[in-house]
Amino acid sequence: MTNDAAGIGNARGFSDFVVYVDESGDHGMTNIDPNYPVFVLAFCIFYKNHYLSNVVPALQQLKFDYFGHDLVILHEHEIRKEKGDFRLFRNRADKQAFMGRLSTLIDQSNFILASCVIEKHRLYHREEIDNPYHLALKHCLETLFDFVKEKGQETLTTHVIVEKRGAKEDDELELEFRRICDGDNKYQRDLPFSIRMAAKTSNSAGLQLADLVARPIGRHVLKPEQPNQAFGVLRAKFYCEGGRNTVGNGYDQWGLKHLP
C-alpha cells in the first residue's frame, strides 16, 4: 500500500488500522471445562500497510512451501492435533520445523495485541456473567480505543473483523458490539469502530493469525509458571502502559486483561 493509497483511505474516513479477532475456549457458564476453564478473546491490530506488504505474502509463502497451494486455513486446534491438512508431517522434526517457521512468521509480523481472558472458574457469582464473550469484547474495544486515540486516529473508522459462528450468535454479537460502541463503555462516548463478519472459509490471513495466538494467551493466564514458547513470542506485542518497550509486564491489565 502506497502512501497515496493510505491517504485515499484516510480521506474516506478509514483509519490506518484493521483488527482481526478470534477466541479460545467456550463462552458458556454452565459446564466449565476443568482442563481449560477460561474464555479468551484476542484482538490483533495491524497497520494496513504492513499487513498488505509483509504479513499476507509471508503467510501465503508458508502455505505454498508446505502444502503446494494457498487454500489451507491455519487452525491452531487442527495443527496441534494434526487433523485434516495437518496430517502431512513426516515425523516430529518435520512438525517442529513447520512450527518454528510459523513462530518466526508471527514474531516478524508487527501487530499489537489487545486481549481479555475470563477465568470462569474463579467467578464467584457466575449467574451475574451472562456471556463472557460480551464482557471480554467490551474490555478489548476499550483497549482498542486507547490505542487509536494514542495514534491520533480516534476520528477515523477502524474495522473489526470477527469470524461468523452462527446466525443467532452473530446477531447477538453485532447487537452487543453496537451497544458498546454507542456509549456503553467506560468512556461513555461513541467508539469509532465498525464490525464485519467473515465466513470461516474466508481464508483471511489476519483471522488465521488471531486463531493462532488466542490459546497460548489462555494457557499463560492459567499456568504462568509453565514454559510457554508461543506466549514468549507474543509477550512483546501486547499494548502496554508506557509503550511496547516497557520493561517487565507493563502489558498486564492493559493489553492483557484478565478477570476476575
Q: Give the mean model confidence (pLDDT) for residues 223-241.
A: 93
Distance CA 102, CA 65 (A): 12
Nearest to 255 by CA among 129, 99, 94, 142: 142
What is the distance between the alpha carbons of residues 116 and 260, in angstroms, rounded to a whole number? 11
Average pLDDT over residues 95-101: 96
pLDDT above 50: residue 128: yes
Does 206 score more than 90 pLDDT? yes
Supply the pTM of this predicted model: 0.93
Name 147's Cβ contacts closer than 8 Å, sequence gap at least 6.
17, 45, 112, 114, 239
Q: Is the pLDDT assigned to residue 149 strictly greater than 80?
A: yes
Question: Rounded distance, CA 211 to CA 231, Å?
Answer: 13
Q: Look at residue 127 in the predicted model and tell me its pLDDT.
A: 47
Q: Please tell me the least confidently modeled range out of 67-81, 89-103, 124-138, 221-235.
A: 124-138
Given pLDDT bands bounded at 50, 70 and 90, which one contains residue 17? Answer: very high
Give the per-residue pLDDT at 248. Answer: 58
pLDDT at 1 (0 to 100): 52
d(CA 109, CA 59): 10
CB 214 within 8 A of CB 36: no
255: nearest Cα among 117, 163, 160, 157: 117
Position 123 scores a pLDDT of 78
Smallest Cα–Cα separation from 173: which of 129, 217, 137?
A: 137
pLDDT score of 224 more than 50: yes
Note if the bond before 37 is cis, omega within 30 degrees. Answer: no
Q: Regarding the domain delimited by 3-259, which CATH topology (the fold level of the hierarchy) does it fall under? A: Nucleotidyltransferase; domain 5 (3.30.420)
Average pLDDT in the 227-249 region?
Answer: 80
C-alpha cell at 64: 505454498
Domain boundaries, the chain: 3-259
Size (the chain), residues: 260
CA-wise closest residue to 207 among 196, 194, 217: 196
Query: Rounded CA gap, 202 and 127, in Å?
Result: 35
